[in-house]
Amino acid sequence: MAGIAGGFFTFFGLDAGKQRALLGLRLRLMRRQFQREPGKMAGFLTFLIFFGPLVIVLAIVSAYAYQELPGVWPAQVMGIVLCLLWLAWIILPVFAFRTNEGLDLARLLIFPLGRRDLVASALIGTLLDGPSYVTLPFFVAMIVGWIATPALLLILLPAIVIAYCIMMASGQLVLTTSTGLLRSRRFRDLTIVLLSLLGSSCYIVNRGIEAWLRAADTSGLEGLEPLLYLRWLPPGACAQAVASAGTGAWGEALLWLGYAGAWLAVLLWAWWKVLERMTTGASAWNLPLPEAKKPSRPRTRLSDRVAALGFGWLPAPARASMVKELKLIWRVPQRRIGLLQSILAPFVLIFAVFFGDMSALRRLPEWTAMGLPAIILFAAWGLSSNMLGMESRGLGTLILTPAPRWQIFAGKGIAYGLVALIPTTFYAAILGYTARSPLIIFGMIAAAGTALTVIGVNMIACIYITFPFDESVTTRQRSGGSCATGLAQVILLPIAMAIAGLPTTVPMAAGIWFNVPALIPIGAFAGLTYAAILFVWATRYAGRLLTAREPEVLMAARLER
């Protein structure tokens, strides 16, 4: 096996010993990463459990299309799949999702390694990255789709390898070139809005495609050949090579493979040049020099405005903690994404469900008011999760603050509850305008109780389930913590929040279900009273726990240097 690998490296002009050393270094770094952050392994396994079957199903569907579709459509589908994967590897790094975490080539430039060896090690190292495994089922499906014609494998296998290398090189080029742009605040804010819309727009796109397919003429679809346009893109050329070989035009297939290979060479050359330029202190799209600050007018402090809104009765430490959280929810990009998603998701959901028949909103039943607790549950969960870890580097300063711990938790909890009410209030306003039901009022009361219970559970959970969070890093994805932390976050906490929140919604739901109108307001107010008592108890109990477990919490939330 070692001889075969050595011959392979030698065939491409690579140093086999250096490639083995670089690959071994990549394996050791990957093992060390999982040892230091076991929670990342739990997150990766959770991703495979939930999204792995979806990827496999899509790959099986594509394999079926390659084998069963008539005429030119198998190659058309292959071109669409390759171009979509290529676009994903270009777009995701820009939006702060690292598709590949390879070796830092800038640090390897000081060693006696050739340019070809460095670039080859970066491409080979991507085989060890988790996101690369997402592409594997699609490539296997292509091989299965044309396994009945072994001669085509002579073109198909090189086409798959070239397409994979084009994906990796394009993603690394975009990420390296955009280093300065990704650090700009304006681009980061734009990314936050786009991410908020991206997470909830898939259903709208699906409805739009469905409407287009219904309106499209069947004869027009039969004559549609997207590969005529996609083949001029780097991965589309690989699909065109397979299509040409399928018709017996082997010379044309080799020309298209050469065209794709030329694109790969250009991308690798551009990536290397940008990397060299960055290591010498220059980078593309550098941020402009800071301008002189204009004299600002004195503004009313947020703490004064909060006190004027009726929170002056809070103790000073609790009010200060509340004000700090309100500021950080908007200033920290990752937390702002969650806030915007919780605000936009209800509107996107309503538009997607009632697309084409908005008048159906007026025919909604009264019990849809029970959806308000569900909306606020997810909003409060996202805002209050890992509330101590979200302090990041400021956690040590917070713990040194000479203030009662329960007041710190009280301020945090009130801030999370107020922010969680924003999307829920918008949703309630829409339901109130369309359904015209008084149950919306009691639904909001039940929603407020649900928020208090969710935040109370997270207060206690954050003492035991804390993981590091770096607010200054927007591109590196971290899960942090141990495997137990990851499993508790995705399994135990949702169950605990659901159980704690049942008394806030069950009485009202029972009144609606059994048609007992008197039980609805009594149940809503009783649930809110229960939630308020639970919230107050949770702040006191979490404060005592934090006092007893400060060293453990600091160690769990510690960022690696």
Whether the per-residue pLDDT at 394 is higher than 70: the answer is: yes
Q: What span, in angstroms and rounded, lies between the C-alpha atoms of 534 and 198?
A: 36
Tens of pLDDT, residues 99-144: 555 556 666 766 777 777 777 777 777 777 767 778 888 999 999 9
- Percent of all residues in the chain with a pLDDT value above 70, rounded to a whole number: 68
Whether the per-residue pLDDT at 475 is higher than 50: the answer is: no
Q: What is each CA distance from 454 to 329, 377, 532, in whole angstroms?
A: 18, 7, 11
pLDDT at residue 287, as a whole number: 46
Range with top average pLDDT, 120-134, 359-373, 522-536: 522-536
pLDDT at residue 305, as a whole number: 61
Q: What is each CA distance from 368 to 78, 154, 362, 363, 513, in whole angstroms?
A: 44, 59, 12, 11, 12
Q: What span, in angstroms and rounded, lies between the C-alpha atoms of 352 and 348?
A: 6
Q: In the numeric block, which tokens belong to residue 342?
A: 């919780």
pLDDT at residue 473, as a whole number: 56
Residue 479's pLDDT band, with cuts at 50, 70 and 90, is: very low
pLDDT at residue 201, as a whole number: 52
Read off the DSSP letter of residue 101.
-
Rounded to an integer, the average pLDDT of 402-423 is 91
Q: What is the CA radius of gyration of the chain?
A: 28
Whether the per-residue pLDDT at 304 is higher than 80: the answer is: no
Q: Tokens 């469900």, residue?
A: 353
Tens of pLDDT, residues 16-53: 777 777 777 777 777 776 666 666 666 667 777 777 78
- Percent of all residues in the chain with a pLDDT value above 90, rounded to a whole number: 21
Residue 248's pLDDT band, with cuts at 50, 70 and 90, is: confident
- Per the rule left: phi > 0, alpha: psi between -120 and 50, beta: everything else, 392 is left
Whether the per-residue pLDDT at 474 is higher than 70: the answer is: no
pLDDT at residue 190, as a whole number: 55
pTM above 0.75, yes or no: no
pLDDT at residue 432, as a whole number: 79
Vertex 365: Cα angle to 359 and 366 (nearest 5): 125
Q: Pick the more confident residue, 16 or 428.
A: 428
Whether the per-residue pLDDT at 288 is higher than 70: the answer is: no
Whether the per-residue pLDDT at 6 is higher than 70: the answer is: no
pLDDT at residue 27, as a whole number: 76
pLDDT at residue 365, as a whole number: 64
Q: In the numeric block, which tokens belong to residue 401?
A: 């603050």
pLDDT at residue 477, as a whole number: 45
* Mean pLDDT over the full length of the chain: 77
Q: Tokens 């159980």, residue?
A: 499
| Residue type at 258 in one-letter notation | G
pLDDT at residue 283, as a whole number: 44
Vertex 327: Cα angle to 326 and 331 (nearest 5): 125
pLDDT at residue 157, as a whole number: 92
Tens of pLDDT, residues 342-351: 666 666 666 6
Tens of pLDDT, residues 142-181: 999 898 888 888 999 999 999 988 988 888 787 777 655 5
Rounded to an integer, the average pLDDT of 362-373 is 71
Q: What span, in angstroms and rounded, lies between the C-alpha atoms of 414 and 323?
A: 10
pLDDT at residue 492, as a whole number: 86
Of the candidates 213, 207, 137, 131, the residue with the CA atom closest to the CA atom of residue 175: 131
Q: What span, in angstroms and rounded, lies between the C-alpha atoms of 448 and 175?
A: 43
pLDDT at residue 295, as a whole number: 55
Rounded to an integer, the average pLDDT of 180-188 is 54
Q: What span, in angstroms and rounded, lies between the C-alpha atoms of 374 and 330?
A: 23
pLDDT at residue 545, as a whole number: 94
pLDDT at residue 13, as a whole number: 66
Rounded to an integer, the average pLDDT of 54-75 is 87
Domain ranges of the chain: 20-279, 318-349+369-556
pLDDT at residue 515, as a whole number: 86
Tens of pLDDT, residues 438-472: 888 899 999 999 999 999 999 999 998 887 777 66
Read off the DSSP letter of residue 332.
S
